[in-house]
Amino acid sequence: MKLFTIGDSISQGFMSLAAARTDLCFSTLIAKSMGLQVGGEYFYPEWLMGGLPTNLEKILRRLEKKYGSDINGLDWLTILPTLEKILDEAEDYYERQGGSAQQPYPGGVEFFHNVAIQGFDVADSWMITPKICKYQIELSNQKGDGKPNFLGLPNAAFYRIALKVLNPSLNPIFDNYSQLDWLRHHASKTEGVENLILWLGSNNALGTVIGLEIYQTPNDLNATLKNPSQKPESFHEVREQWNLWHPKDFEAEYQELLDRVDTIMQGNKNPNWNVFIGTVPLVTIVPLAKGVGSTTEIDVPGDNKPSIYYKYYTYFPFEEDTVKNTGTLYLTLQDALYIDDCIRTYNKVIRELVKSKNSQHRQPRYHIVELADALQEIAFKRNAGQVKYDFPEYFNFVYPQVNTKYYHADTAGRLRQGGLFSLDGIHPSAIGQGLIAYEFLKKMAEVGVVNSVELDWKSIFSNDELYSQPITLMHEFYDNKEFVETIIKLFGRNPLARNTSITRRIG
């Protein structure tokens, strides 16, 4: 097997609140660059009906088709029924129809080469199995969460996604197969694994900017790593209470991850294996977490110039008055700094652990891809508009230019800002995925795995419909607070928010 991918939502191609476009994600682009036949030599799940749990782009495209570029006063009376109809399509398909937990993936597929799953933290790579997913889905059904409800999303979406990825055939033989079990299966029971992409860790901090609250692990391995979370009845309650890992807890879990991977790869039938490991991006740079209020320049060790931080971080597109008037829905500057300091420590841990692992081999087997540095260099506001990233040449004179600001297009269909993040303000767009592929390919070329870092940027930009076919209805996101709050409430029932209370806090 030439390429195998273990990761979370970014590696899965999660965009605009849905596991929807694995065909456009960076690992698929890398597979194509390596000359692999996509759909054969590199196979990934496809997600119908816009994907799980809900696709913001699909929602806005449908509203745009019905109402045009403006929603007038009378039209607002029919918005909720229209939105309900769109959401029902995905809810029905993934709870009761062809995409349900009782239906195997079409075509008798037993496995995918990309087993990335949105929402996965480091330890999920060996803790979550189809058995646990089935238990949690059934538990949710017993609670009545699977019944049709107004503006409802598919219940237990996190576990439904994981089940489809980890056991597409629903074969009981694979019910205890985690991401790492699949790696072991391919490394030792089939032809072996030549190149492994391993990128986990973002979800050990991402929940802080989704929920705008911090729930840190207790710096107690008996409560985190050593807890018997593999038991279906305890998993949900134990792991989902946290959204920020104490660096010591992160270190223990990442050490366990690398130990397990190394044991597997040493039994690999392919002797020429390499592992490419991504560092953890600073989650506070995502456009969903909008910086408002006064700014402060912070000198960060190792950076060439100060980083810009804001007084508050709230949900896009709210302003400072929302924070002042409600007293909720924000992180402080100190919160953002603390989160970033934790992540910087995570990456220091990753570098040290990788260095230690490589010292145990005759040649370097583990190769770090500094995605945290690259994405920070791209961040528009963090760098006060002075982006330091060295983009591929294609970007120099492509118009309109793209940046990391939240997506916006005018009523004439012209992109006004953004382009590197999808509509959820967290996950990369297709163009953003291309840049991640570019970073991985640079390291893979350095190691000698690929001969070129070139990508088909014309095709990437064309396939990114947020860029090539801008949404003319986007101004409603900026102009209508009630509309935005309705959309944001979806986060409160979203598996991205594994420990948040957004719905409660905004009504």
The strand pairing partners of 419, in sequence order, are 403
What distance in Å separates the CA atoms of residue 460 and residue 86, rounded to the nearest whole number?
27
Query: DSSP assignment, residue 42?
Result: B
| Residue-by-residue pLDDT tens, the chain, 507 positions | 999 999 999 999 999 999 989 999 999 999 999 999 998 899 999 999 999 998 999 999 999 999 999 888 888 888 888 888 888 988 999 999 999 999 999 999 999 999 999 999 999 999 999 999 999 999 988 887 656 666 678 899 999 999 999 999 999 999 999 999 999 999 999 999 999 999 999 999 999 999 899 999 999 887 777 654 456 556 556 778 899 999 999 999 999 999 999 999 999 999 999 999 999 999 999 999 999 999 999 988 777 778 999 999 998 878 888 777 766 679 999 999 999 999 999 999 999 999 999 999 999 999 999 999 999 999 999 998 889 899 999 999 999 999 999 999 999 999 999 999 999 999 999 999 999 999 999 999 999 999 999 999 999 999 999 999 999 999 988 887 777 776 766 555 444 544 333 332 333
**pLDDT at site 77:** 81
Per-residue pLDDT, 493: 45
Closest CA to 346 of 165, 179, 481, 217: 217
Structural domains of the chain, count: 1
Alpha helices in 179-328 (DSSP H): 179-184, 207-211, 232-239, 247-266, 320-326
**Among 139, 145, 158, residue whose Cα is nearest residue 234:** 139
| Distance from the first to the final alpha carbon of the chain | 50
Domain that holds residue 282: 3-505
CB atoms within 10 A of CB 456: 14
CATH of the domain at 196: 3.40.50.1110
